[in-house]
Amino acid sequence: MATHKLLLLPGDGIGPEVMAEVRRLVTWISQQGLATFEVEEELVGGASYDADKVAVTDATMARAMAADAVLFGAVGGPKWDAVPYDVRPEAGLLRLRKDLALFANLRPALCYPALADASSLKREIIEGLDIMIVRELTGGVYFGEPKTITELGNGQKRAVDTQVYDTYEIERIAAVAFDLARKRRNKVTSMDKRNVMKSGVLWNEVVTQVHKRDYADVALEHMLADAGGMQLVRWPKQFDVIVTDNLFGDMLSDVAAMLTGSLGMLPSASLGATDAATGKRRALYEPVHGSAPDIAGKGMANPIAMLASFAMALRYSFDMGALADSVEQAIAAVLAKGLRTADIRSEGATIVNTAQMGEAILKEVQALLK
Ligand code: IPM
Ligand code: MG
């Protein structure tokens, strides 16, 4: 049996609490002999800053490079609001994405039947929702240079961020979106702002070319990103795969996440290119939610997004799709039985804490695999 090298980076806030539930599942999978995991754990974000004055150390980066998959909790919190910009907690996550070249961020937004009433939208709008946002993750305004604040000498300052995309960056993310669409409902919606941005003009052109050249069998539509945001809350079920740049993807994926009832539900996968020789690709899996400092340490956090992120790791990094399906089915089953963490509480539900939710999901997985 292959040994999978897993690096856990729990981070800050609720990160360690939700990561503990992944550990529970990993331990059980290993005990059952379903897979062998070599698990390492390191600090990231504010926790790393407190220990080493950086958001991620070079040693941790080296471990991340050597891992088959990185599982990331969450970073940040008011405690680190005043630390220097370069070493703020988020810088750790951004360095991991950039140095591991994780250009493709997959953010599924799935509405579990039991949670249809937890959304702020009407049930008929989100019931059965299943969309995939494919966000470009290593380019655009997040990393473009120059990125500066300069004194103009007249009491004014000027801030500059740079939105920049090269053809190859758009080609490879478009290909990821089209490939995914083929395994789903065969439709891609590309979102950009070509009406005001040159990068949007190129985005549109390249996505159209890639489609024509290699994916003419997939339905492609283009939408301006602002209209796309509006359509996401108006009638989200019109979408299958949405492909968009780093910044729009950040915002649109938060919108999509909330459609499903709670940010605490949604996983994500950040993938690099597949190595032609080994067939492997670098990967980092993280919940879409943040560190939620207001509820950290109280055992209230919802571990579902973290566990679902681990399910994505099973599917995309470890070729264990059947086990991934079981974890996802277990999550749905536990919700159907009425178990809820506080963020998704509803009338008549049983409110449980983080560990109880994790245990219940593990029990369901065990029952499913019997
Ligand atoms: C996300 C987050 C990050 C981002 C932050 C924490 C840097 O909002 O993953 O969506 O903006 O990409
Ligand atoms: Mg975000």
How far, in Å, are 11, 16, 266, 321 from residue 47 at the CA level? 6, 11, 24, 33
Q: Are 323 and 312 in contact (CB under 8 A)?
A: no
Q: Residue 2 Cα, ligand 2 centroid: separation in angstroms?
A: 34
Q: Residue 253 Cα, ligand 2 centroid: separation in angstroms?
A: 7
Domain layout of the chain by residue ranges = 1-107+267-370, 130-259
The pLDDT of 187-207, averaged and rounded, is 98
Average pLDDT, the chain: 96
Q: Residue 250 Cα, ligand 1 centroid: separation in angstroms?
A: 6
Output the DSSP codes for 105-116. Answer: EEEEEE--GGGT
Q: Is the pLDDT of residue 10 over 90?
A: yes
Measured at the CA of 96, the angle between CA 37 and CA 255, to 5 degrees, comes to 100
For domain 1-107+267-370, give the CATH superfamily. Answer: Isopropylmalate Dehydrogenase (3.40.718.10)
For tokens 């974890």, the residue is 327
* Rounded CA Rg of the chain: 20
- The answer, yes or no, to whether the previous bond of 303 is cis (omega within 30 of 0) is no
For tokens 């702020």, the residue is 120
The pLDDT of 328-339, averaged and rounded, is 96
Q: Is the pLDDT of residue 307 over 80?
A: yes
Contacts of 245 (CB under 8 A, 6+ apart): 135, 136, 139, 140, 163, 165, 192, 199, 203
Of 365, 368, 367, the residue nearest 24 (C-alpha):
365
Q: Is the pLDDT of residue 53 over 90?
A: yes
**pTM score, two decimals?**
0.95
Q: Is 29 in the pocket of ligand 1 (CB under 6 A)?
A: no
Of 143, 369, 91, the residue nearest 247 (C-alpha):
143
The pLDDT of 1-14, averaged and rounded, is 94
The pLDDT of 43-61, averaged and rounded, is 98
Two tokens at 147? 């990125």
Q: Is the pLDDT of residue 1 over 80?
A: no
Q: Is 90 in the pocket of ligand 1 (CB under 6 A)?
A: yes
Q: Is 144 helix (H, G, I), strand (E, B) or coil?
A: strand
Q: Residue 370 Cα, ligand 1 centroid: separation in angstroms?
A: 39
For tokens 């059965």, the residue is 128
Rounded CA-CA distance 18/301 in Å is 7
Rounded CA-CA distance 331/71 in Å is 19
User: What is the side-by-side order of every strand in the sheet holding 219-224?
Assistant: 36-41, 3-11, 69-74, 281-287, 267-274, 104-110, 130-136, 241-244, 187-192, 219-224
Rounded CA-CA distance 125/122 in Å is 6
Ligand number nearest to the C-alpha of 46? 1
Ligand number nearest to the C-alpha of 95? 1
Rounded CA-CA distance 291/294 in Å is 9
The pLDDT of 141-164, averaged and rounded, is 98
At 149, which helix (H) or strand (E)? strand 144-151
Buried b (16+ CB within 10 A) or exposed e, 95-105: bbbeebebbbb
Q: Burial-class residue 322 by CB neighbours within 10 Å (0-12, 13-18, 19+).
A: exposed
Residue % of the chain over a pLDDT of 70: 100
| Ligand 1 mutation target, pool 90, 263, 266, most atoms within 8 A of CB | 90
Q: Is 12 in the pocket of ligand 1 (CB under 6 A)?
A: no
Rounded CA-CA distance 333/113 in Å is 10
What CATH class does 130-259 carry?
Answer: alpha beta
Residue % of the chain over a pLDDT of 90: 91
Model confidence at 149, pLDDT cuts 50, 70, 90, reads very high
Max mean pLDDT among 121-125, 186-190, 316-320 falls in: 186-190
Q: Is 286 in the pocket of ligand 1 (CB under 6 A)?
A: no
* Residues carrying an active site annotation: 142, 193, 226, 250, 254
Q: Residue 88 Cα, ligand 1 centroid: separation in angstroms?
A: 13
Among 75-79, 145-149, 257-261, 334-338, name the one with the lowest average pLDDT.
Answer: 257-261
Bridge partners of 162, per DSSP, are 144
Rounded CA-CA distance 192/231 in Å is 14
Query: For position 113, what pLDDT does the model report?
Result: 86
Query: For position 283, what pLDDT does the model report?
Result: 98
| Ligand 1 mutation target, pool 94, 105, 245, 250, most atoms within 8 A of CB | 250
Q: How many CB atoms lie within 10 A of CB 335?
A: 23
Equal CATH topology for 1-107+267-370 and 130-259? yes
Ligand number nearest to the C-alpha of 93? 1
Q: What is the pLDDT of residues 85-141, one digit of tens each?
A: 999 999 999 999 999 999 999 999 999 888 888 888 999 999 999 999 999 999 999
